[in-house]
Amino acid sequence: MIDSGSVKQLAGHPFDRRDFLKVLGWSGAAVALSGCGNTSIEDGKETVVSYVEANDYMVPGIGVYYNSTCAQCDAGCSINGRVREGRVLKLEGNPDSAINKGKLCGLGQAGVQHHYNPDRVREPLLRNGNKGETISWDKAYALIAEKLSGVKGEEIAFLSGGVSGHLKALLGNYLDSLGTKNHFVYEAVAPGVVRAANVKAYGVEMPRYRFDKAQVVLSFGADFLGSWVSPVHFSQQYAQFRKGVNGQRGVLVQVESKMTLTGANADRWLAVKPGTEGVLALGIINALGIATGEVAELVKGYDRARVSSETGVAPGQIDKIAALLKLRSPSLVLAGSAAEGYAHGSQNAAAIHLLNQVLGNVGKTVEAPVSVPFPQMAPAKGNTAALKTLNDGLAAGKYKVLFNFAANPVFTAPGAFKFKDNLAKAGFKVAFAHYLDETALQADLVLPLDSAMEDWGTQVPEYMTEGAQINIQQPLMERLHANTRGMGDIVLTLIKQRRADEYKAFEDYYAYLRGAMLQNKGALGGGGVDDDTFWNETLTQGIVKLAGSTGTLTAHAAAAGLTLPAPAASDEQYPLHLIPGVTASLRDGRHTNQPWLQESPDPLTTIVWDSWVEVHPKKATELGIVEGDIVEVTSKTGSVKAQVYLFPGIHPEAISIPVGRGHDAMGRYAKGYGVNPFQIMDAVFDAATGELAMHETRVNIKKTGQRVLVVKDEGSAGALQMGRKIAARVSTDQVDLSKEV
């Protein structure tokens, strides 16, 4: 208990000027003391604003909660936002969603900083030389109409990130009214190759993975706990997998050249030579010895010795994995972004899928997906091949008008594309933007968007579980800035320029959305309910759950056409592979201006607010590099300089730089922090799909002579245990996997 005498001494004592100066004279820190006891500091100064009219449920200091959808990535987690005094304060997951079941990732949590961000664009801006001049929305719309008039459909291009729901349908109609088919859906980090390989192997782009039913998960570079497809959902299934079926805990084996968050959680982490994931998969099939027919024929050559020398994985390890997979069934084998990022990415993925099929997992842990019964709302999935087509078109000067929404290609296109230069050849560039990011800065007209917490919308996620769902996005609070607009409202206004009659019934996007939903009330599970009740319930729940239609899975991964290239010859000039690290919080860098994301330490290196180059300690010794050295990383395309972090979780023949940092625009929390590895990426493509091979860039590193203190959370000794034996360890060659599991 507090001694009240001393409390009073601190509390109410008036602080006179002499005391104050005396204290100030000693130290600036003491100024804090003068605050103690002076309560009621704002008496008569601060304004306290009340409501003009308030509903009964609006009580100052008491939160109200609204359901909506996380817009930080495409996974489609449902959120529940706490709103107090009309301000959204904190987001949680909506427990009713089958996708995230009440959980939310760190990136999702930072969604409020998307909304309150001080660097948002607030007014429509029209280029005047190097400046943007504020114009009215009416003028902006008139300008777009003017620029579009007389322009042929094929001279118009629309670049966007992944879109789905009613916005996708409306946008499709708008592009149709313009007579253009040039909708380029681009996501810098997307499983484009894996989708295509999935179609070949399973008959669907994205099957449902059942981690919870698997006894072993063998993942070839799929960072499903961090950034792959639907990480919050997978994390929950992973928890189930770890608890085990019948008390038998699942075993995770991760194969990759750069350790990801998932790799760090694995029971066994295997570093393969970059690009040899497919070889290892075939080697495992060979070691299993259960394949027959042409598959057996295919893998015949992939004996232990060859596979081991090509992949760098010890022969004993291959046997152990094969033994484990034989012992425990069903298992689940995944091909992730590390396997697909090569010129032979499709082949890698095909080999991995073949392993899945040989193991008999298709139909057990790989299930048919569900889809919404409204194909026009299904997601338009982004990939990188779309950017290539657009870039070629731009280079050829094909486009007179270019729209850009939810993509930042000037930042994320590989340096070899020279995208910025090509973009300049487009006639009139319109950017629908949240920030003045690198791409918006190149635009002629910038139109400010509402945040996800101010806007209406629907979203259909690519990856769904337990039935289909349509996610509802609704405003959690009023607009912060009077002159931002929702993307739906903008597209609706634009389409009215072309098809006024068809859309005149809809005053705004909200009316359009409500009308469209009510029209299909029956199919959406609202049969027999009156309109208002249905609509209010939909908004309250934030999710419309549908039975959905289940696709069919075909197991026809085949050996035919599967050829893996011989290991790449070593390159004298550029001996190292550059692996772009995709982190759970920054992803492709579209949210880097949210300071929480900059501030939360990378889970593996604990570095904050900066980029780093991961170098294997052995390689570093060879090159005479220590932690904190600034090195120059050079590829055929360009070079960047960044600090070195010695990381045992990377193959000695590779280095890794995380993507997402290194902005030279966007806002105060993004600009000038770190480097952008996209800039030095070569334009190499997967042969089968035309997707960008993100892991194919070769580099060399040189010391610059500068050295810095790496700002990170782990101890200065590189997380050494200082002889305290906090976690005991054994070297891998002394572990007997069969005893372990």
What residues line the site for another protein (CB under 8 A)? 1-2, 4, 7-13, 19, 22-23, 26-30, 33, 35, 37, 39-54, 59-62
- State which residue, 215 or 230, has the beta carbon closest to ligand SF4: 230
Residue closer to ligand SF4, measured from CB, 75 or 640: 75
- C-alpha–C-alpha distance, residues 79 and 476, integer Å: 11
Residues 79-85: contacts with CB under 8 Å, at least 24 apart? 79/104, 79/108, 79/111, 79/542, 80/542, 81/453, 81/476, 83/476, 83/477, 84/60, 85/60, 85/61
The nearer residue to another protein, 37 or 595, going by C-beta atoms, is 37
Q: Binders of ligand SF4 among 212-241, rule CB under 6 A? A: 231-232
C-beta of 75: minimal distance to ligand SF4 in Å? 4
Residue nearest to ligand SF4 (CB): 108
Q: If 0-12 CB within 10 Å is exposed, 13-18 middle and 19+ buried, where does residue 530 land?
A: exposed
Which amino acid makes up residue 74? D
CA distances from 344 to 329, 336, 426, 619 (A): 29, 14, 33, 26
72 binds, among another protein, ligand SF4, none (CB under 5 to 8 A by kind): ligand SF4
Q: Which residues within the stretch 36-95 sit at the binding site for ligand SF4 (CB under 6 A)?
A: 70, 72-73, 75-77
Number of Cβ within a 10 Å radius of residue 696: 23
State in angstroms the smallest separation of the CB of 706 from another protein: 17
- Say which entry of another protein, ligand SF4, none residue 44 contacts (CB below 5 to 8 A, set by partner kind): another protein
Residues 234-273 that bind ligand SF4 (CB under 6 A): none
**Smallest distance from ligand SF4 to CB 398, Å:** 34
* Closer to ligand SF4 by Cβ: residue 108 or 312: 108
Q: Identify the three-state secondary structure at position 336.
A: coil
Q: How far is CA 223 from CA 162, 260, 380, 464, 582, in A?
A: 20, 6, 23, 18, 9
CB 271 within 8 A of CB 312: yes
In 3-state terms, what secondary structure has residue 544?
strand
Stretch that binds ligand SF4, among 102-110, 403-411, 429-437, 719-727 (CB under 6 A): 102-110
What residue 108 binds from ligand SF4, another protein, none (CB within 5 to 8 A, per partner kind)?
ligand SF4
Q: Which does 13 bind (CB under 5 to 8 A by kind): another protein, ligand SF4, none?
A: another protein
- Half-sphere exposure of 399 toward its Cβ, with a 13 Å CA cutoff? 28
The tokens for 95 are: 């427990």
Q: What is the smallest separation between the CB atom of 224 and ligand SF4, expressed in angstroms?
A: 11
689, 193 Cβ separation under 8 angstroms: yes
Closest by CA to 563, choosing from 289, 354, 341, is 354
| ω into 191 cis (within 30 of 0) | no
Binds ligand SF4 by CB under 6 A, chosen from 66, 67, 83, 104: 104
Residues 6+ apart with CB under 8 A from 151: 400, 401
**In the complex, least distance from residue 26 CB atom to another protein, rounded to whole angstroms:** 4
**Residue 153 or 715: which CB sits closer to another protein?**
715
Closest CA to 495 of 472, 459, 479, 487: 487
Angle at 193 between CA 190 and CA 196, to 5 degrees: 115
Q: At closest approach, how far in Å is the CB of 90 from another protein?
A: 16
Q: Rounded to the nearest whole angstrom, what is the least distance from the CB of residue 199 to another protein in the complex? A: 55
User: Residue 543 pairs with which residues in a beta bridge?
Assistant: 471
Cα–Cα distance measured from residue 112 to residue 71, given in angstroms and rounded to the nearest whole number:
11
Q: Looking at beta carbons only, is 404 or 585 nearer to ligand SF4?
A: 585
Q: Are strands 125-128 and 131-134 parallel, antiparallel or unpaired?
A: antiparallel
Closer residue to another protein in complex, CB, 48/717:
48
Q: How far is the CB of 287 from another protein (least distance, A)?
A: 56
Q: Which does 376 bind (CB under 5 to 8 A by kind): ligand SF4, another protein, none?
A: none
Question: Which of ligand SF4, another protein, none interacts with 75 (beta carbon under 5 to 8 A by kind)?
Answer: ligand SF4
Nearest distance from residue 716's CB to another protein, in Å?
13
CB of 9 to another protein, least distance (A): 5
For position 108 contacting ligand SF4 by CB under 6 A, the verdict is yes
Nearest residue (CB) to ligand SF4, 447 versus 472: 472
- Which residue, 54 or 720, has its beta carbon nearer to another protein? 54
Q: Do the Cβ atoms of 311 and 283 come closer than 8 Å? A: yes
The residues that touch ligand SF4, with contacts defined as CB under 6 A, are: 70, 72-73, 75-77, 100, 104-105, 107-108, 231-232
